[in-house]
Amino acid sequence: MELNIACIPGDGIGPEIINEAKKVLDAVAIKYGHKISYNTILLGGASIDAYGEPLTEDTIEKAKSADAVLMGSIGGDANTSPWYQLPPAKRPEAGLLGIRKALNLFANLRPAVLYTELEDACPLKKEIIKDGFDIMIMRELTGGLYFGERSTTTDHGVRKAVDTLTYDEIEIKRIAIKAFEIAQKRNKLVTSVDKANVLDSSRLWRTVVNEVAKEYPEVKCEHMLVDNCAMQLVRNPGQFDVVLTENMFGDILSDEASMVTGSIGMLASASLNETKFGLYEPSHGSAPDIAGMDIANPIATILSASMMLKYTFDLDKEADEIEKAVKLALKDGYRTKDIMSEGNQLVGCSEMGTILAGYIK
């Protein structure tokens, strides 16, 4: 298969971690007989430096012409970078929001995986985490409270603010379909999270999810109120497979889920549109304070590349090969600085990529 990938190195540690992801992807391509074409495009601070804009039309068009986008990290130090002297619409993060909108990326995937080798970093007790957990948070990314009509007024001297939470059945159906499709590749369980005991939008959400569930009889569908889900994530995270929810609930729950893993440097993410197209990136930031020092952890980006193989290209075996390599590296004691613990071997960003590519070869 020929894979046409647009690469956005981005800012800070972005170029370093993207290089290691490409190293691992190239090893997969050699082993399985694929051909990968990379097209490097600029976004964020790097684009501001080059073009005076965080996102150009050329970047958008090149991203759209690719099969998928693999991105490093965007942004810099808000206290020292000249990028943050610019108006908000001209800052690096505006480019990130802009490309998500331009590519219609409505489905956000945030896996929260606890590897047994890193269980000491988890804040939960051993009897709770047991043999680890592997959760996929599916967050609707372009609707709900964050995108509804809002206003702030003063009436008879009293200030009043209104935010509107709106979903239509089309928005709900398309994210639900994605969740059930992804559950088919995993453990065939979807937990749809809402607040249907209070909100009309949640009652519609639950109705539409039940309608979609009928089309996927091999996948079990259950419903959970958001407050209960927040408790269950720290009480028994192993019970979850795919967690499907709306924008604001997903924002909160995905951050909670990432914290119980104890290591943000290991967390991948993806944003998908209605086709197989997606933008894949690590969940962590650009870490400008360690840029160029070869100490960043590239594993989150490499696991994002694994998600790209699985969800855009349907190369499940190749994706599993990358995940297996990560588990072997951790089992053999290789650690970057952020996940280092006594008795293990400290390696740099570049060496970790080389090690993972070596396991694949």
In the prediction, which pLDDT does 43 show? 98
- Mean pLDDT, rounded, for 17-40: 98
Give whole-number Cα distances, 171 to 143, 176, 211, 263, 294, in Å: 7, 9, 14, 32, 42
Which tokens belong to 59?
A: 């970047």
Q: Lowest-confidence range among 188-192, 272-276, 297-301?
A: 272-276
Q: Do domains 1-103+277-361 and 110-264 have the same CATH topology?
A: yes
pLDDT band at 265 (very low <50, low <70, confident <90, very high): confident
d(CA 133, CA 35): 33
CATH number of 110-264: 3.40.718.10
Kindly tell me the number of DSSP H helices and DSSP E strands found in the chain.
12, 14
Of 222, 230, 225, 281, give the one whose Cα is nearest residue 252: 230
Q: Are 272 and 178 in contact (CB under 8 A)?
A: yes
- What are the start-end ranges of the E strands in the chain? 2-10, 35-40, 68-73, 107-114, 133-140, 150-155, 158-163, 189-194, 220-225, 242-245, 268-272, 278-282, 334-335, 345-346
Calculate the average pLDDT of the chain.
95
d(CA 217, CA 190): 12
d(CA 302, CA 324): 12
Buried b (16+ CB within 10 A) or exposed e, 256-271: ebbebbbbbbbbbbbb
Name the CATH superfamily housing domain 1-103+277-361. Isopropylmalate Dehydrogenase (3.40.718.10)
In the prediction, which pLDDT does 264 show? 81
Structural domain boundaries of the chain? Answer: 1-103+277-361, 110-264
Collapsed DSSP state (helix, strand, coil) of residue 272: strand
Q: What is the pTM of this model?
A: 0.89
Active site residues: 146, 195, 227, 251, 255
Collapsed DSSP state (helix, strand, coil) of residue 166: coil
- Whether the pLDDT of residue 359 is over 80: the answer is yes
